[in-house]
Every structure is written in structure tokens, then in C-alpha cells.
């Protein structure tokens, strides 16, 4: 014999399993969307980094020109106070070399500026292209988060109810129930309202079924085939 309250405990434990599975599904879906979102963000970020690096290089080239211009100004001053013709010529050559460097760098800058523009376009394009998708993902993730929280609350409620039932039952009875759960794959009480045993799947003959129903007592009657306690949901 088993106490009828244990059927309620079985309901609650099955409900708990269902809720936990559902919550896990929601969380794994959320994780999937978060990964997708992260991937998009990485793409946008990588376009931004490429643009920034190119801009930085452009800045370096401009700094180089500035440095060269300062150097020329310096050399021009030195030229005024050249001690001899030899030194004068040497300074002139140095100035020409620096001017040459500036011209080459300016040519390089023109190319880099074009590249910066192209990278800026690419960055804005990828950002714009995925902005909608990202917002959509964000919304879905928030929804799933809320849903998971709702399930968390439901789970806590059922856990509380399970504890309540357990604390109202004698230790021995619970121990017996746990042992039977082990033996019967978690299903100690089997519903027979369909004419078949929910536990072992056997369909009863109509005479047998009538007999079982007429004598049915929750916590006492058992399935003649698997030995589970039977009850009728209806």
C-alpha cells in the first residue's frame, strides 16, 4: 500500500522535470541567439578595427611629413650659417632628400586616403546591414530571458510544493516511494484511463479493465502486469 498523497508527489515531480527541460530548451535557444549576435558584432568590430588601423597609419604618415617639414626648416636655418661651400652643398642635398621624402609620402597618403574611405564605407555598410538583425536578436534574447525567469519561478513553486508534500509524509513511506521510483523508472503510479497501463503499455481486455475499474483504489490497486499502482485520471 502507498499513500495517495504520493500520487500528487509524482505529479509534481513529473511537472518539475517538464519545467526544467523547458527551461533548459529556452536557455539553449537563448545561448544560440547570443552566439549569433556575438558573431555579427565581431564582424562589425573587425571592420571598425581595419578602419581604425588604416586611419592610424594615415596619421603616422602625416606626422612623418610634419617631422620632415620641421627638419627642412631646421636645415634652412643651418644653411644660412654654413661655414663653407662644402657644408652648404651638403645641407642643400639634405633638404632635397627631405623634400623628396615628403613628395613620396604625399603620394602614399593619397592612396591610403582612398583606402580609408573604402574601409569607412565597408564599416558603415556592415553596421547598417546588421543593425536590424541585431535589434531583432536582442529583442528575442530579452523575451527568452523573461520566459526563462518565468520558468524559474514555476520551478521554485513546484519545488516548494514538493517539499510541502514530502514534509507531510512519514520518512518510511517516502523511502518506499523512492525505491519504487527506481524500480519503475520514475513512474510508480500509472494512469489506466485509456484502457492501457501508462507504465508498461499493456492494453487490458475489456473484461479485465471493467474488473480493475470496479475495484480500483488509489494507492492499493496494482497493474497485474508490471505491478505499478494504478489510478484513473478521469
Contact footprint for Zn ion (CB under 5 A) = 197, 199-200, 223, 225-226
Which residue, 123 or 231, is less far from Zn ion as judged by CB? 231
Which residue, 34 or 191, is less far from Zn ion as judged by CB? 191
Which residue, 2 or 223, is less far from Zn ion as judged by CB? 223
Do residues 98 and 75 lie in contact, with contact meaning Cβ atoms separated by under 8 Å? yes
Which residue, 167 or 214, is less far from Zn ion as judged by CB? 214
Q: Is 223 exposed, middle or buried (0-12, 13-18, 19+ CB in 10 A)?
A: buried
Smallest gap from residue 166 Cβ to Zn ion (A): 26
118 CB neighbour count, 10 Å cutoff:
12
Which residue, 213 or 226, is less far from Zn ion as judged by CB? 226
Smallest gap from residue 199 Cβ to Zn ion (A): 4
Do residues 36 and 130 lie in contact, with contact meaning Cβ atoms separated by under 8 Å? no
Smallest gap from residue 187 Cβ to Zn ion (A): 9
Which residue, 172 or 207, is less far from Zn ion as judged by CB? 207
Please provide the DSSP assignment of 2-18 as one string.
--THHHHHHHHHHHHHH
Which residue, 95 or 223, is less far from Zn ion as judged by CB? 223
- Of 184, 198, 180, nearest to 212 (Cα)? 198
Close Cβ partners of 102 (under 8 Å, ≥ 6 residues apart): 65, 68, 69, 72
- The number of residues in the chain equals 234
Close Cβ partners of 82 (under 8 Å, ≥ 6 residues apart): 88, 91
Smallest gap from residue 3 Cβ to Zn ion (A): 20
Smallest gap from residue 213 Cβ to Zn ion (A): 15
C-alpha span between 43 and 83 (Å, rounded): 61
Do residues 68 and 75 lie in contact, with contact meaning Cβ atoms separated by under 8 Å? no
**What backbone torsions phi and psi does residue 223 show, to the nearest 5 degrees?**
-70, 125
Smallest gap from residue 178 Cβ to Zn ion (A): 20
Smallest gap from residue 6 Cβ to Zn ion (A): 17
Amino acid at each position: 500500500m502507498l499513500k495517495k498523497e504520493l500520487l500528487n508527489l509524482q505529479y509534481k515531480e513529473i511537472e518539475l522535470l517538464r519545467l526544467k527541460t523547458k527551461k533548459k530548451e529556452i536557455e539553449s535557444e537563448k545561448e544560440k541567439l547570443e552566439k549569433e549576435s556575438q558573431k555579427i558584432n565581431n564582424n562589425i568590430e573587425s571592420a571598425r578595427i581595419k578602419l581604425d588601423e588604416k586611419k592610424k597609419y594615415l596619421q603616422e604618415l602625416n606626422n612623418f611629413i610634419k617631422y620632415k617639414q620641421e627638419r627642412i626648416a631646421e636645415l634652412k636655418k643651418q644653411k644660412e650659417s654654413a661655414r663653407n661651400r662644402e657644408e652648404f652643398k651638403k645641407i642643400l642635398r639634405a633638404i632635397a632628400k627631405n623634400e623628396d621624402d615628403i613628395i613620396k609620402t604625399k603620394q602614399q597618403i593619397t592612396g591610403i586616403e582612398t583606402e580609408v574611405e573604402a574601409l569607412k564605407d565597408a564599416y558603415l555598410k556592415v553596421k547598417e546591414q546588421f543593425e536590424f538583425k541585431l535589434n531583432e536578436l536582442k529583442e528575442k534574447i530579452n523575451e527568452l530571458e523573461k520566459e526563462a525567469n518565468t520558468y524559474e519561478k514555476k520551478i521554485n513553486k513546484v519545488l516548494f510544493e514538493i517539499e510541502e508534500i514530502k514534509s507531510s509524509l512519514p520518512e518510511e513511506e517516502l523511502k518506499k516511494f523512492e525505491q519504487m521510483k527506481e524500480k519503475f523508472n520514475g513512474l510508480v503510479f500509472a494512469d489506466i484511463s485509456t484502457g492501457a497501463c501508462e507504465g508498461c503499455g499493456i492494453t487490458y481486455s475489456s473484461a479485465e479493465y471493467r474488473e480493475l475499474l470496479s475495484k480500483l483504489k488509489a494507492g492499493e490497486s496494482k497493474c497485474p502486469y508490471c505491478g505499478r499502482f494504478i489510478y484513473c485520471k478521469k
